[in-house]
Chain A
Amino acid sequence: MPDVHIKGYMLQLLARNGAMWDYAVAEDVMSAYGLSGDYWYGTIRLTLTDLYAGGLLEELEATIDPEKSLGEEKVLFHYQLSDFGRERMQQSGLMEVSA
């Protein structure tokens, strides 16, 4: 299990992988922390919404794919880290040193 807290892990994940869909972020986080269920899926999507509203993430595109959202017609977002998000990560000691 990662040492870093969940929101920090999500930022690091986006910094490593570039753009990611929200459901992919949720799947990765849930498997890394051994979490499951709608509650955590929703919590992680909510955290992405916080990050977007704060300008740390940029929204690249949106789509609908019921298969990816438990059969419901829900909007899915493709996010990437913004320059501001990267700056905040650096200031917070979250930026991993790349080889």
Chain B
Amino acid sequence: MTDTATDRVSQLRGEHRSRQVRWGFIWALTCAVLWGAWYVPGTAIYFEAPFVDMVDNYLLAAFVITVLNAIAVLIALFVWVAVLGKTRDYVRTMKQTKISRWYAPAGLAGMLAIFGSIIAIAYVGLAFAAVAALMYPIVGALAAKVWYNERITKQAAVGILVIVAGGVFIFAPGIVGEFTGAGTGGFLGYVGGAMAIVGWGLEGAIAGRALDVSDPDVGITLRFSAEVAIWIVIGVPIAWALAGGDALWSTMGDALANPTVWLLLLLLGLTFGFCYVAWYKSFPLIGVGRGQAIAALYGPFALVWLTIFTLVAPSWQFIVGALIAVAGTFILFTEKRDVLEVIRAVPSGRSRTVQENPSSPVR
């Protein structure tokens, strides 16, 4: 090959690999936008019958909404996978049990995270729940690094922490009041918050492992199949026993008799479903730690969406916190491309030449 041709190849190669990384960030950002948008129908549904009259039975309302949300997401994902022509690949992947079985703990961790944040909202408060949920990328990045050597450089670690700090800053002012007002139920709420942090972080790390050998669109559909199965086989009987069968079924029936609930479920399914599609698509490209950190921008985005729909101006903390989070995003995005090209520190080929220098043993 001539020198010009070689230059052209190396230029095109560079562009291709940059695109690879850029798309990883675009998917993660798409997830953040949709996750934030999910809070609009996710909040609105509590103001609809029968949930609006269930103030004294909040946990049952939350349970019914969470189960219906999971089913709506699964239906949206089935349509998505069919449109992509991957339905048969969904069945083939499910039959590879050494691969598909990983999506069960991923689904379990995710559903515990969702339910944990609902408990946190109920027993401590919305701000605490939001702050707790935003810290999950720390757990995800650590787990991915320890478990399969995901390359979390110093710059990446700083970026992740800055994004998390920005999100926490936004919601922190409400926390002090919530802590003092939490009362005796507070402990349960803190457990819920911990479930959100650990649950979403671990879900990402487990998914990152399963996505090595399976397709993201198929993988996320398997994960929600697992979640819906766990809800129906384990969650519903427990709720039935705790709430008394009649209360559970009548709430379910009243909810499905309200056309507005159907509309909100459609919106919940679309926003949450595609937020998760985007989340899973970003992991193979930029890694779990970075993908989760960018996705944690859902905190600021949720407030943007709620501002648009409620026309209530956000506080100054929001502006400052959002700016901090955006700065963190740039710290992640401006990392050297060759560091981001292969996200694992595996000792082979090209990646060997760009591995970080080992730290000096001299103290």
Chain A residues in contact with chain B, CB under 8 A?
3-8, 11, 39-40, 47, 49-56, 58-60, 62-64, 73-75, 82-84, 88-89, 91-94
Contact = CB atoms under 8 A, between A and B. Distances in A.
Contacts of A60: 349
Given A53-B20, A84-B348, A6 B96 contact: no
Given A5-B218, A11-B213, A54 B343 contact: yes
Given A8-B93, A84-B348, A94-B96, 4 more contacts: A8-B214, A54-B211, A54-B343, A82-B348
Contact of B13 (A53, A75, A94): A75
A62 to B, nearest CB: 4
Interface in B328-363: 341-351
A91 B98 contact: yes
Contact of B96 (A40, A51, A64, A92): A92
Contacts of B96: 4-5, 8, 92-94
B256 to A, nearest CB: 35
A6 B20 CA distance: 20
Contacts of A62: 9-10, 12-13
A54 B215 contact: no
Contacts of B92: 3-6
Contact residues on B (Cβ < 8 Å of other chain), bracket: 35 or more
B348 A83 contact: yes
A83 B346 contact: yes
A50 B284 contact: yes
B9 A7 contact: no
17 contacts: A3-B92, A5-B92, A5-B93, A8-B96, A53-B284, A54-B342, A55-B343, A55-B351, A56-B212, A58-B349, A59-B350, A62-B10, A64-B9, A82-B346, A82-B348, A92-B96, A93-B96
Interface in B91-138: 92-93, 95-99
Nearest to B219: A7
B95 A3 contact: yes
A84 B345 CA distance: 10
Contacts of A91: 98
A4 B348 CA distance: 27
Contacts of A58: 348-351
B89 interface: yes
Contacts of A75: 9, 12-13, 15-16
Q: Chain B interface secondary structure, helix, strand, loop or mixed?
A: helix
Nearest to A45: B16
B5 A64 contact: yes
B9 A93 contact: no
Contacts of B13: 62, 75
Contacts of B97: 93
Interface in B210-265: 211-216, 218
B342 A52 contact: yes
Given A55-B346, A82-B348, A74 B213 contact: no
Interface string B1-42: 100010011101101100010001000000000000000000
Contacts of A50: 211, 216, 284-285
A18 B251 CA distance: 58
Contacts of B218: 5
Contacts of B89: 5-6
B352 to A, nearest CB: 9
A53 B342 contact: yes
Contacts of B286: 53
A54 to B, nearest CB: 5
Contacts of A8: 93, 96, 99, 213-214
Nearest to A83: B348
A4 B88 CA distance: 10
Contact of A54 (B1, B344, B347, B349): B344
Contacts of B95: 3
Contact of A49 (B20, B213, B345, B351): B20
Contact of B212 (A39, A40, A54, A74): A54
Nearest to B352: A58
